[in-house]
Amino acid sequence: MRFIINCMALLVTIFFVGDGLAARPDECQEIEARMEELNQELEDSPRLNDLARIQNELGALSMKYMERCMGGTGGGGFPSMSGDMELMTSPPASTPEEEIIRQRKIINIQRQQIEQNRASMITEGEEQLVPVPRAVPIRGSVVINGGFKSSPYRGWVWHEITYSVTESFVGNLIIKEYFSTRTGQYTEGKDYSMATLSTGINVTELGGRKCLKASSGLPGYCVDWESFQRHEVAKDEIYPGFYAEALFAETENDQVVVRTKSPTVTFKSFSGRATDGLGCFSAEKAYSRDQFNSLIEQGKIQFTEEVGSDSQATPGCSRGSTISLEMFIDRP
């Protein structure tokens, strides 16, 4: 969700560049400062009900900037953005599939505007590299095959659980290129990120049990076992929940790191007295830029990573647990 706001602010920044070398009145500086505040506000208070309010204010500010600081939307070589602003200030869609399409359109507006205004952005002054993202559709699933087994105590294992959870998702691969205001061309450098939304969380396997009470003698035995039989998925993990993302990617130095994010799932016995949580939280895989470019061309990213440890913290993730990703990419 936060990515929508950042991209929207970036779009307005792109329009700044065409007039960026001229002195601006105080009012223009105040508008820019307010837009920065809105982005920071979203980072500090990540609540879903703030999204529409911030989108609306950013849209109004961008229109105000173009009218008062850039001579209006009809002059200076810039096309009208009335339709674009309507899209960018529209509320989130009702389904994750529709919302990802909406985000993709917002992101790709920026490149379209750059292409239409190349000539007006070229300057003989100091070179500026304007980041211009484009969004490519992705879809796939993350499978968590995990579990936890406590160390034996008084002669037996008190707590043991195994599970298989599949989360499907849709999203956008964001390819950020850099436009040079000196050459009027894109440089060779690229950065990558991903914005995803879950489309379904399914527990396909669940087993194990927990001892709730033991006999008084030593070593004794368990007198009250309860088996794990049902589950609950946290509401925030389901769209339009704020934690509905399933996958992330970012460029770190010369690598592109892909990270999964496991959903919050609580496992319970039938009575609810025995509980546990999904403890295998994430996996990551690092690729060189060349490797990542090759995978984009192939249209698929797939990996399985072991994620368990010997820790006895709960919810736990014992050795042998794995997280697998299968993701399909539309060719850019």
Query: In the chain, where are the structural domains located?
Result: 2-121, 137-329
From the centroid of its chain, how far is CA 263?
13
CA terminus-to-terminus distance, the chain:
23
For 167, half-sphere exposure in the C-beta direction (CA atoms, 13 angstrom radius) is 29
Whether a cis peptide bond, with omega within 30° of 0, leads into 46 is no
3 state DSSP class of 243? coil
Which residues make Cβ contacts (< 8 Å) with residue 252, sequence separation at least 6?
286
* CB-based contact 56:89 (threshold 8 Å): yes
* Token digits of residue 230: 């049902």
Number of C-beta neighbours around residue 35 at 10 A: 21
Report helix, strand or coil for 111.
helix
Cα separation, 52 vs 57, in Å, equals: 9
At which residue do the structure tokens 């990802």 appear? 100
Q: Which residues, other chains included, contact 162 with Cβ-Cβ below 8 Å and sequence gap of 6+?
A: 146, 147, 205, 206, 207, 208
Q: Which of 262, 257, 258 is nearest to 244 (CA)?
A: 262
Q: Residue-wise pLDDT tens for the chain (332 aa)?
A: 444 444 444 454 444 444 443 434 577 778 778 877 876 665 555 454 555 566 667 666 766 665 555 444 433 334 444 456 566 667 788 999 999 999 899 888 877 877 887 787 788 888 888 888 899 999 999 999 999 999 988 888 999 999 999 999 999 999 999 888 888 888 988 999 999 999 999 999 999 999 999 998 888 889 999 999 999 999 999 998 888 899 999 998 889 999 999 999 999 999 999 999 999 999 999 999 999 999 999 999 999 999 999 888 878 899 999 999 999 999 76
